[in-house]
Chain A
Amino acid sequence: MRIDYAALAPELVITGAACLVLLVDLAVRGRTRVISGYIALVGSLLAIVLLIPKMFDAPTSTLNGLFVLDHFAVVMKIIFLAVAAYVIWIAIPPMRGHRYEGEFVFLLLCSVLGTLLMPSSRDLLMLFVSLELVSAPAFVIAGLRKVNPLSNEAALKFFIFGVLSAGIFVYGISLIYGATGTTSLAAIAASPAARAAHPPAILFTGIVFIVAAFGFKVSAVPFHFWAPDTYEGAPTPLAAFLSVASKAAGFVGLLLILYIGFPALAKFWGPFLGVIAILTMTVGNVVALRQRQFVRLLAYSSIAHAGYMLIPIAVIGSKAGVGSGSSNATLIRSLVIYLAIYSIMQLGAFAVAIGVSKQYPTLLVRDLSGLGRRAPLPALALAAFLIALGGIPPFGGWFAKFALFTAAIDAGTSLGLVLAIAMVVNSVISLFYYLGVVRVMYLGETPEAQDEGAVSFPRTIAAATALAFIGVVFVGIYPEPFARFADAARLVLHV
């Protein structure tokens, strides 16, 4: 078997960087340990550079078709790597001098490796490996703050839910294998069992199990319970990573399995996902209304956004002739646009949270009060991120919602229409808590009267916040480059 190392280059770079971090972290002491963060940063950026030329190459596959590098995969990998680089960047100040500074970076890189494998997977086993590679290192990171009971709770909850979902996933795979005799997605789609007029019941059970496993990954209701506790207890950079990259990986996996593997059963999983989408966005938004802790608020908001992002996948399922490719390009594009823009808004908000957490480790919403006076620029940026998350122009989020909305209506199915309306209604609800935070920042009294001094932001965090702010403004005013980039994400069914 010839292995196409060029196609695997980003994964190899990240693996190399991870190994290098382990070695270097053994050798250095004290403040110089920060070097591991920079190695990871350079590694991620290098991997992006290696990927860019692939945008213009024809899709390839290697490892006997287990690994496919089409334009969809390239675009998603660039997004994952950019998110990873950003998270590593904003993790440098809070992790500096931490006992497990090097381990954190190493584990994060392993998780990134999992996200990179996900969009290239075309086989259930490969998807299983990717999914676990994303999750397992994150279990450990969640518990890195050993003496903190919240961190322990976070790790344990995350671990138990994660392992349970892994078990369910494998069980689902076994059922599907039993029904179709293969684990390759393309072969499943072509198998007589999946194409039969009355497919066997275990196939449906298998799909339900797989949706449940990925529902855990993307924190869809009712598989979301771990997310708020884990986000709150885990080191905040990990929460940023989980709510963006790991979630996005889940969406990619779900899309690949259902879209490539089970086009014939779309009548079943389309509405099924539609129901989950409505539940997810509604529960996420309604519960977010009551949150007092900022990271938990972001957690529930990210659950709500998971609901929105399930829409394109569900709508694909509601369309006739799912497997025919081009007709679903708009929906897939809207998912990619949403993932990309959502990453900017969410990461920006987390960057500000990390900046504030230095002075206010509890990160209550109340702690943000008066931030408009005490740290005007970060407060302005956070206001922009929150308004963007709410989908109000001129900040980037409106375009993400607009693209999703247009794609859902364009599909011309009743499910698309219902989901689009559910999304806008939910967007209105979400504005209550987003604007609530903004209001606290500008109107709230500071917690203690003597506490009127400026909130100092580490320079790294300030720079990262500024970058995300520029991004969110740019996308809001001129979204075309993003739309182009997402448009390039053509998912290829057969190479």
Chain B
Amino acid sequence: MGGFATWSVSTAVFLPLVGAILIAALPKQIMRDGLVYFIAMSASAISLLISIWIAINFNFHSGGMQFTVNASWIPTIGARFHVGLDGISLPLFVLTFLITMLCTIYSMQWMPEPRNTRPFFALILLLTTGMAGTFVSLDLVLFFVFWELVLVPMYFLIAVWGSPGRREYAAIKFFLYTLFGSIFMLVGFIALYLHSNVAGHHTFDIIELSKLGRAGAFSPLFANLVFAGLFLGFAIKVPMWPLHTWLPDAHTEAPTVGSVILAAVLLKMGTYAFIRISLPILPNAARDWAPAIGVLAVIAIIYASLACLAQTDMKRLIAFSSVGHMGFVMLGISTLNRRGINGAVVAMVVHGLITGMLFFIVGSTYDRYHTREISRLGGMSLVMPWLAGLLAYCSIASLGLPGLAGFWGEFLALLGSWNPARVLSGHVTLYHFLTAFGVVGTLLTAGYFLWLLQRVNLGRPKEEWEGHAFKDVLPLERIAWAPLLILILVVGIYPRLILDVTGPAVNAVAHVFGG
């Protein structure tokens, strides 16, 4: 590979950053809203096209890294600019740009108050670079930089454009939780670096460290301590129960596109990091920790669905449902086998599509009713049949109806958990229980989603809305949503669209565990 192929990944990652700088730096006189939209749109669209081009030219039979660049960056501390994609990161990479572009389109219709388009889009583009960069980094320092890059823009998106009231509290809670976790993560990274030895040198390289990990270079105690540090950093981002409490607040207070990005992409950084960093570099510690992670994941599933049943705010309900869905992802990861991890990756992507879409719908519902109180909604199918229909479609997809995308990830994760990786053979009974409780979780999930539909879509509109003219789905909303809606169906019918991509890379990860 040469020429553009080599630098395509970096171009896609940094193009939004260039867009952000342009938007921020150009003088006010020429930066009308139209130009801001244009720059934001073209940056995300071109990045998306590049990522699709990468996907087209991707070798789906290889489990290794492709489109890699390994250039010198900070040799003094042994950090390199090492990026690349494999089947696990590619779907998330494409998803990142897709979601950003759709959010840009959506914001043309619904720009949150206080409008101020310039900083808003500059921050979204900055966020995009951070998220996309996280998914392609193969160097721990680079990973850390991208990981942290996400914090500040998200903080401001929530604190400035969030719903009035508790937005600053939610923003600072998000910020502190994540920062708190990332400190431990950083300590873990540095410990790995200082304990690594490749031909007499320390290394931050994820691939090199994975090789060392497979060869058993890290002592059990050290590996478990480092795993604990990384676990804190990643689990807060996921978020896993009981570290999830920042998420309902952040989601509820964030502007619509903020919630969409948060749910669709940001959370995946945590689960992705488990698969990319914790499992390959510290396989033995992962084996020791896996049952605990599985238990926490199942608690998250059950807890989140019970919490959902108790919610009165529609957005908060979707936020809690995210905790549950991420629980399925973590359950898949905790199986350490092919099926489970494949299921986890599929569930990550699919959750991005479905829950991202649900947050769009909740946002649009709010923009029409100016309330998210479920008790004040009702009869939406009568006043806005299209919006109500889409809500039904996505809710049913989210609860895992076969034929729509939500089914496959959770199905595979549960299937994997019945028969975990060989290294976990001592815990088979425990995993059987996990499967059983996971299934109960899916039933509860179906319960709260159907109940939501009943309360929001069915019945008659409340009296307070009498004579109120509702606009059903608008043209720009259609454009912004169509790709997600189509993908939900396509992945549901033909899951190999993702599974064929992830397969070989997941095999490479699961191989160590005899799964």
Instruction: Answer whether A431 and B193 are a contact pair too, CB < 8 Å, given A442-B119, A483-B74.
Output: no
Measured CA separation A492–B73 after assembly (Å)? 29
75-120 of chain B: CB within 8 A of chain A: 75-77, 119
10 CB < 8 A contacts A-B: A372-B119, A392-B148, A393-B149, A403-B77, A405-B186, A406-B77, A409-B190, A424-B183, A431-B175, A487-B76
B401 interface residue per 8 A CB criterion? no
Q: Identify the stretch in B152-160, B285-293, B462-470 within 8 Å (CB) of chain A at 4 or more residues.
A: B152-160
Interface string of B51-87 (1 = CB under 8 A from A): 0000000000000000000001111110000000000
- Min distance, Cβ A436 to any Cβ of chain B, angstroms: 10
234-289 of chain A: CB within 8 A of chain B: none
Contacts of A442 in B (CB 8 A): 119, 156, 160
Measured CA separation A394–B160 after assembly (Å)? 21
Whether the Cβ atoms of B145 and A410 lie closer than 8 Å is: no
Whether the Cβ atoms of A428 and B77 lie closer than 8 Å is: no
Q: Name B residues whose Cβ lies closer than 8 Å to a Cβ of A.
A: 24-25, 28, 72-77, 119, 141, 144-146, 148-149, 151-152, 155-156, 159-160, 172, 175-176, 179-180, 183, 186-187, 190-191, 193-194
Measured CA separation A402–B182 after assembly (Å)? 13
Measured CA separation A402–B25 after assembly (Å)? 29
Measured CA separation A431–B145 after assembly (Å)? 17
Measured CA separation A432–B75 after assembly (Å)? 33
Closest residue of B by beta carbon distance from A443: B160
Whether the Cβ atoms of B119 and A392 lie closer than 8 Å is: no
Whether the Cβ atoms of A392 and B151 lie closer than 8 Å is: yes
Closest residue of A by beta carbon distance from B159: A439
A479 interface residue per 8 A CB criterion? yes
- Min distance, Cβ B358 to any Cβ of chain A, angstroms: 29
Whether the Cβ atoms of B119 and A377 lie closer than 8 Å is: no
Whether the Cβ atoms of A484 and B151 lie closer than 8 Å is: no
Whether the Cβ atoms of A428 and B141 lie closer than 8 Å is: no
Contacts of A399 in B (CB 8 A): 74
Measured CA separation A421–B187 after assembly (Å)? 9
Whether the Cβ atoms of B141 and A402 lie closer than 8 Å is: yes
* Residue in contact with B74 in the complex, picked from A380, A409, A479, CB distance below 8 Å: A479
Contacts of B155 in A (CB 8 A): 435
A387 interface residue per 8 A CB criterion? yes
- The total of chain A residues at the interface (CB under 8 A) is 33
Instruction: Answer whether A431 and B149 are a contact pair too, CB < 8 Å, given A405-B190, A424-B186.
Output: no
Whether the Cβ atoms of A393 and B148 lie closer than 8 Å is: yes
What is the interface of chain A mostly: helix, strand, loop, or mixed?
helix
- Min distance, Cβ B416 to any Cβ of chain A, angstroms: 36
Contacts of A392 in B (CB 8 A): 148, 151-152
- Min distance, Cβ B81 to any Cβ of chain A, angstroms: 9
Closest residue of A by beta carbon distance from B76: A483
Whether the Cβ atoms of B179 and A428 lie closer than 8 Å is: yes
Instruction: Answer whether A480 and B24 are a contact pair too, CB < 8 Å, given A398-B148, A428-B176.
Output: no
Measured CA separation A380–B194 after assembly (Å)? 36
Whether the Cβ atoms of A480 and B74 lie closer than 8 Å is: yes
Closest residue of B by beta carbon distance from A484: B76
A65 interface residue per 8 A CB criterion? no
- Min distance, Cβ A315 to any Cβ of chain B, angstroms: 14
Instruction: Answer whether A428 and B186 are a contact pair too, CB < 8 Å, given A387-B152, A435-B155, A443-B160.
Output: no
Measured CA separation A406–B179 after assembly (Å)? 18
Contacts of B193 in A (CB 8 A): 406
Whether the Cβ atoms of A377 and B145 lie closer than 8 Å is: no
A360 interface residue per 8 A CB criterion? no
Closest residue of A by beta carbon distance from B146: A393
Contacts of A480 in B (CB 8 A): 72-76
Contacts of A458 in B (CB 8 A): none
Measured CA separation A479–B142 after assembly (Å)? 12
- Min distance, Cβ A253 to any Cβ of chain B, angstroms: 26
